[in-house]
Amino acid sequence: MQHRHALAGVLSVVSLVVSASVVDAQGLGDRLKKRASDAAKRTVEQKVDQKTTQATNAALDKAENAVRCAAADTACQEKAKADGKSVVIDDSAPKGGAPAAPAASKAEPAESGAGAAAKEEAAFVNFDFVPGERVLFADDFTKDNVGDFPKRLEFVKGNMEVAEWKGARWLRATTDGQFEIPLPENLPERFTIEFDHVGVASSWPHVTVSFGGKRDADRSLDQVVFRTWDGSSNLSGGGVFGGDGTERAKGQVKDAQNKPFTARIMVDGRYAKVYMAGTRVANVPNASLGRSNKIFVMFDASADNPAYFANFRVAAGGKKLYDAIAEKGRVATQGIYFDTGSDRIRPESAPTLKEIGSMLSEHADLKLTIEGHTDNVGAAAGNQALSEKRAAAVRQYLIDNHSVDGARLTAKGLGATKPSASNDTPEGRQNNRRVELVKM
């Protein structure tokens, strides 16, 4: 498009070549050599400019579906989400938002399509995580002031504050620290925990998660530990350990240092599974994790190597999908993940979709309406359209990947018209952003 080429011209890298003055006494041979050299440099400049323009165009293509909004400009954020665009938090953005510029470190066009999807899918090893369907706690720190400790966590010790980092809100720690996640009830027999984390680049850094409700580690209970090793080993890992540090089970993943990864824990009675960066690293059938109305977290950090946390979600488990449908005729699931403002299904949705596919295979007479639901953030029309696209995407996924007869599936989007909880709390909004399966 014309406007894209104009922008590319402005953003192009121009190499400036400064030549020494040519004195009058310079011989003809020297002048010819200089002209040849200048011509070669101009050719190089043109190639550099052409490649940079191509890269800029590709980056602009990618950025067209993103909008920069200030952290406090909620109207801008809601409008972007309603329009199906992703939001980049940037306090230098003008009020009302602006198209997000491509990051300087990502000037080269990113891989897309089947190749990128295949790489993303390959990152999920032995991944069978299915989140609980009733959210007990959720916080992304968007309601907290930058520089404050999050209101909904309980401070124990350390230096921690909410910070803007990588276009999102994070709890940043610059010393070793501890905090607690308060819950409205004791953890049930089945529950899941998810959070994003960036560990420190030092030897044996760790995050320990305890469920017994004691601020100091209870040595009679097992704990879940995530560790990011130093760069010399290029390995990270996690697992279940006794309160005295005794190893129960652990595993390793590659390339998780100094970058965000998602930590996940799934517990069913005494059965505990631990996941790190899409890989299951521990599988313990007889863990003693305890149950309380608080989750205790302690970690390593320093001023030179901060630790970061974001996007906490604790959810209660429940019955298997078919048991719930047989009892009530419908079931909600939180286990189908989409890209922000998009109907693209993320690879971590595979375990839940596999359960749905298996259920339909085992019960040939079962027909389902797939309902897409949203919270009330953003314009109603945008939410309605997004819910319709997401429901249709789930239907098509089951047809394409689990050989389900399309005649057995109907897709329906309901937007924010059928909330299952109040939209006034983060937990309520999380519960309202769901896919429901309804028996026809």
The tens digit of pLDDT for each residue in 276-303 reads: 988 899 999 999 988 999 999 999 898 8
For residue 237, what pLDDT is reported?
85
Helices (H), 145-281: none
For residue 53, what pLDDT is reported?
39
The more confidently predicted of residues 54 and 108 is 54
Decide: residue 319, CB within 10 A, 0-12 exposed, 13-18 middle, 19+ buried: middle
For residue 254, what pLDDT is reported?
77
Whether the per-residue pLDDT at 274 is higher than 90: the answer is yes
Read off the pLDDT band of 154 (50, 70, 90).
very high
The tens digit of pLDDT for each residue in 343-367 reads: 999 999 999 999 999 999 999 999 9
For residue 54, what pLDDT is reported?
45
* Polymer length in residues for the chain: 440
Kind of pairing, strands 168-173 and 235-241? unpaired
Q: What are the residues facing 170 on neighbouring strands? A: 163
Mean pLDDT for the chain?
A: 77
Kindly list the structural domains of the chain, giving each domain's residue range(s) and its CATH number in brackets, ordered by start: 2-9+27-106 (no CATH), 125-316 (2.60.120.560), 321-439 (3.30.1330.60)
Residues 101/63, Cβ–Cβ less than 8 Å: yes
Whether the per-residue pLDDT at 8 is higher than 70: the answer is no
For residue 68, what pLDDT is reported?
61
176: CB partners within 8 A, 6+ apart = 158, 298, 299, 300, 301, 302
71: CB partners within 8 A, 6+ apart = 89, 91, 142, 146, 164, 169
For residue 258, what pLDDT is reported?
73
Radius of gyration from C-alpha coordinates of the chain? 26
SS3 331: strand
Stretch among 156-170, 197-211, 426-440 having the lowest mean pLDDT: 197-211
What is the distance in angstroms between the CA of the first residue and the CA of the last residue of the chain?
48
Kind of pairing, strands 271-276 and 261-268? antiparallel
Q: What secondary structure, in 3-state letters, does 104-166 show?
A: HHHCCCCCCCHHHHHHHHHCCECCCCCCCCEEEEEECCCCCCCCCCCCCCEEEECCEEEEEEC
The tens digit of pLDDT for each residue in 176-199 reads: 999 999 999 999 999 999 999 987
DSSP state at residue 175:
S
Amino acid at 255: D
Looking at the chain, the whole-number percentage of residues with pLDDT higher than 90 is 46
Cα–Cα distance measured from residue 118 to residue 127, given in angstroms and rounded to the nearest whole number: 15
Cα–Cα distance measured from residue 289 to residue 272, given in angstroms and rounded to the nearest whole number: 8
The more confidently predicted of residues 234 and 15 is 234
The tens digit of pLDDT for each residue in 303-348 reads: 888 999 999 999 998 678 888 888 889 999 888 999 888 999 999 9
The more confidently predicted of residues 15 and 170 is 170
Q: Percent helix, strand, coil in the chain (nearest 5)?
A: 30, 30, 40
